[in-house]
Amino acid sequence: MLESVKQSIKTNTRKLYIESYGCAMNFSDSEIIASIMGEHGFETAQDAAEADVIFLNTCAIRDNAEQRIRERLKHLRGNKKRNKHLIIGVLGCMAERLKEKLLEEEQLVDVVAGPDSYRDLPALVAEVDDGGRAMNVLLSREETYGDVNPVRLNSNGVNAFISIMRGCDNMCSFCVVPFTRGRERSRDPESIVKEAQNLQYQGYKEIILLGQNVDSYLWFGGGPKKEFKRLSVEEQDRSIDFADLLKLTALSVPGMRIRYSTSHPRDISEKVVLMMAQYKNICNYIHLPVQSGNSRVLEAMNRNYTREYYMDKLRMIRRILPDCGISCDIIAGFSTETETEHQDTLSLMEWSQFEFCYMYKYSERPGTPAAKKLPDTIQESVKGRRLQEIIDLQNQISRNKHSAMIGKTAIVLIESKSKKSDADWMGRNEQNNVTVFPCGDYKKGDFVEVLIEKSTTTTLIGKAIGYASL
């Protein structure tokens, strides 16, 4: 690029502030957005008050996620009053779900952009500069942003997300994601490996491969997703599935920890688990959401597996990887769930002994199959009580599992200072348990062997006994 052109971009730099909500994929998208905007002279700011453009990268998964954004927008009215040139954009899943309604309902919003239209953001902002309001909510069957080199935001310099696919082709009846993120498509493995190596070169120690259903990752040369059996013989020969991708990544970044999320109980294969056993740098940890412990409810949720099938998958994982950490997502009070069916969720949790659980009250999302066919009839108070029972049980399980670690050692990757004290490090063991210990001479990014001496519901507490390798 000509020096003078570079200079003019520099002097024209405007400040962009991005706030992210929702899942890891959304946080990862914000890093793609920062990169695309960076190419057009926008520098990311740490503070909303100094920004020329504020983007809220939003989530629509439950009603309360959207209410939070509405509150945030109310608050931003003050910013807009103070700076009438301020541009406010609503991006991500809520933007995709509400489309032009968002422009009608929220007068201060200038830009609405869905998850597949981020390359268009600089043009959308330019439209606003010209005095308009702008929207792009087109979903794509091919966009993976594979060539975009993400700008790491709020990074601890130790772990980073890598998006390996986009969208979701499952139709879980409660879920808005297929509507907000469109059809599933996999990203070119070469660009994934390159991104991982680049992170390793910059000193990162752990990568987290992201997709809504990583087990259905399938690369055969690009374009919209096709079932393996529908591929031509050549496409089948050169195709790369999730297990192959794990191997490729594990070999490309030795010494770096690899995690991934999210697995689907129906699709996780023995091939993937065997690959985890074979490569030491793939963490023995799987996030395997069950949602409910009752087969009738699972059918109503359109999850495509039964309670027994889920239990068989856990048996398979634990046979191959006896010390694998397993975490879960659970929904309390899905439409039509009876008291006995709720009890089945509790008994499955007891049997499964999850390391950790994300637990939610069912929230009906407009337009989803459940909203159309299974009206939400469970009273809020009942949902609340069921959720509390689920939380209490999981806390008890986590407490017991953590205290069973006392006297044992764990290999911990140091991520940051502990929230409670600057004298302590915080890191995670392979099973993703948060571990805290006095800093000593160790530094961020070190792998350390820690002797566990105490524990709480959420944390292992101990002392470092030496450096460790993976």
Residues that bind ligand SAH (CB under 6 A): 61-62, 174-175, 177, 212-213, 262, 264, 289, 291, 329, 331, 360, 362-363, 365
The entry of ligand F3S, ligand SAH, ligand SF4, none that residue 159 binds, CB within 5 to 8 Å by partner kind: none
Select the span of 5-13, 174-182, 269-277, 350-358 touching ligand F3S (CB under 6 A): 174-182
Q: Residue 463's beta-bridge partner residues?
A: 451
Q: Within 10 Å of residue 368's Cβ, how many Cβ atoms?
A: 19
The residue number whose beta carbon is nearest to ligand F3S equals 22
Angle (CA) 302 304 308, round 5°: 120
Question: Is position 95 an interface residue for ligand F3S (rule: CB under 6 A)?
Answer: no
The entry of ligand SF4, ligand F3S, ligand SAH, none that residue 431 binds, CB within 5 to 8 Å by partner kind: none
Question: Is position 264 an interface residue for ligand SF4 (rule: CB under 6 A)?
Answer: yes
Count of CA atoms in the C-beta half-sphere (13 A) of 25 = 24
Beta strands in 143-229 (DSSP E): 159-163, 165-166, 185-186, 206-210, 218-219
Q: What are phi and psi of 55, to 5 degrees?
A: -110, 130
The entry of ligand SF4, ligand SAH, ligand F3S, none that residue 59 binds, CB within 5 to 8 Å by partner kind: ligand F3S
Q: What are phi and psi of 320, to 5 degrees?
A: -80, -40
Smallest gap from Cβ 15 to ligand F3S, in A, equals: 24
Selected from 18, 22, 268, 429, the binder of ligand F3S by CB under 6 A is 22
Q: What x/- string results for residues 183 through 212 when contact with ligand SF4 is judged by CB under 6 A?
A: -----------------------------x
Smallest gap from Cβ 182 to ligand SAH, in A, equals: 14
CA distance to 62, 365, 403, 420, per residue, from 453 (Å)? 39, 45, 9, 18
**Closest C-alpha among 393, 390, 400 to residue 460:** 400
Helical H segments across 151-294, by residue range: 177-181, 189-201, 233-238, 242-252, 270-278
Q: Within 10 Å of residue 257's Cβ, how many Cβ atoms?
A: 23
Of the pair 212, 435, the CB lying nearest ligand SF4 is at 212
Selected from 166, 181, 313, 361, the binder of ligand F3S by CB under 6 A is 181
Question: Is position 61 an interface residue for ligand F3S (rule: CB under 6 A)?
Answer: yes
Please check whether residue 48 is in contact with residue 9, taking contact to mean a CB–CB distance below 8 angstroms: no
User: How many residues lie near ligand SF4 (CB under 6 A)?
Assistant: 9
Of the pair 59, 283, the CB lying nearest ligand F3S is at 59
Q: Residue 209's beta-bridge partner residues?
A: 162, 260
Smallest gap from Cβ 301 to ligand SF4, in A, equals: 8
CA dihedral (241, 277, 359, 366) in degrees, to 10, reads: 0
Residues in contact with ligand F3S by CB under 6 A are: 22-23, 25-26, 59-61, 92-93, 176-177, 180-181
